[in-house]
Amino acid sequence: MNWLRTVTCVGIVGLLAGVQPVQGAIFQFGTGHTQNTISGLEQTVLVDEGVEMSLQAGPIGSRFNDSDPQGLGINSNNTSAGINDPDQNKFNFITGHPTGTRVAESFTFSFNQPGILQDLLLDGVKDETLEYFVINFPNRNVLTIFDSQADFRLGVQGFSLGDLNVVNPIECQTENDDLTGINYAFAAGEIFTLTYGEGDYDDVPGYKTNPNFPQFPNAVGDGARFQGVVIEVVPEPTRGLMLLVAAGLCVCRNRSAAITRQ
Ligand SMILES: [Ca+2]
Ligand SMILES: [Ca+2]
Ligand SMILES: [Ca+2]
Ligand SMILES: [Ca+2]
């Protein structure tokens, strides 16, 4: 029976080698993509390549606004907290909260299949004003995502991103505010949160007022937008095939063990 075991195992290895386990799904907002279709919704589900992406605007009561060609924003005007939103088609800080604090707009998202989060596509993340997005991963890891020039801007004045009071600062690799190659594996239904933010100038004294530094068109942040997310998933037919292959491997192992014992 050794020939049968050999042929079976070789066949299984061949199947594994031939499997193409992933396909890309991309959810994009703005011109040519999802635009003017989810404005006014607090939550929604989008579909690409058979994958469902569920989105929930935050804070509670906020609504999506995808009216701008550059991407998705949040409208938090007249929410239950009584907040005034100065930029209804951007992610920004909202004011007028009864406690007097600034509240950052955010949204949560998840997928109905397991996969790998690869790219976060952002827009309008300004380096001079130290704007950023915080991504909270399902496993509680956190990244604070800055413009690709933010560390350079700080470095000119003797500071670095590490001087800011944020968790795990990282720059986008591209000048168009995209963070690529994240490579985070997630399960179906696991929730990510993306939240807008701005660096605190108190962390880097002198940054705003240094006369040797190219000056700021606006001294305060002006919000940013979410352009999309790229993921990889295992297609349903391939997932079934891989389960069969895995079952086959178990049979093969058991058969080998039985033969060894003989
Ligand atoms: Ca807003
Ligand atoms: Ca901005
Ligand atoms: Ca930028
Ligand atoms: Ca971008």
- pLDDT tens-digit profile of 153-166? 888 878 899 999 99
Count up the domains in the chain and report the number. Answer: 1
Ligand having the closest approach to the CA of 216: 2
**9 found inside a domain:** no
Domain span at 49: 22-233
**257 found inside a domain:** no
Ligand having the closest approach to the CA of 222: 2
**40 found inside a domain:** yes
**55 found inside a domain:** yes
Ligand having the closest approach to the CA of 146: 3
pLDDT, one tens digit per residue, over 129-139 is 899 999 999 99
Neighbouring C-beta atoms of residue 132, cutoff 10 Å: 30
Ligand having the closest approach to the CA of 226: 4
Residue 209 confidence (pLDDT): 60
The answer on pLDDT for 93 being more than 70 is yes
Q: In angstroms, what is the span from residue 126 Cα to ligand 4's centroid?
A: 12
**250 found inside a domain:** no
Share of the chain above pLDDT 90, in %: 59
Residue 194 confidence (pLDDT): 98
Q: In angstroms, what is the span from residue 93 Cα to ligand 1's centroid?
A: 7
Looking at per-residue confidence, does 184 or 3 come out higher? 184
89: tokens are 């088609």
The segment with the largest mean pLDDT, out of 78-82, 111-115, 206-210, is 111-115
Ligand having the closest approach to the CA of 121: 4
CA distance linking residue 192 with residue 55, whole number of Å? 10
Q: What is the bridge-based pairing of β-strands 169-171 and 142-146?
A: parallel
Residue 215 confidence (pLDDT): 52
Q: In angstroms, what is the span from residue 147 Cα to ligand 3's centroid?
A: 5
Helix axes 236-261, 2-18, angle to 10 degrees: 160
Q: In angstroms, what is the span from residue 75 Cα to ligand 2's centroid?
A: 16
Model-level pTM greater than 0.85? Answer: no
CA distance linking residue 193 with residue 140, whole number of Å? 10
**13 found inside a domain:** no
**1 found inside a domain:** no
**238 found inside a domain:** no
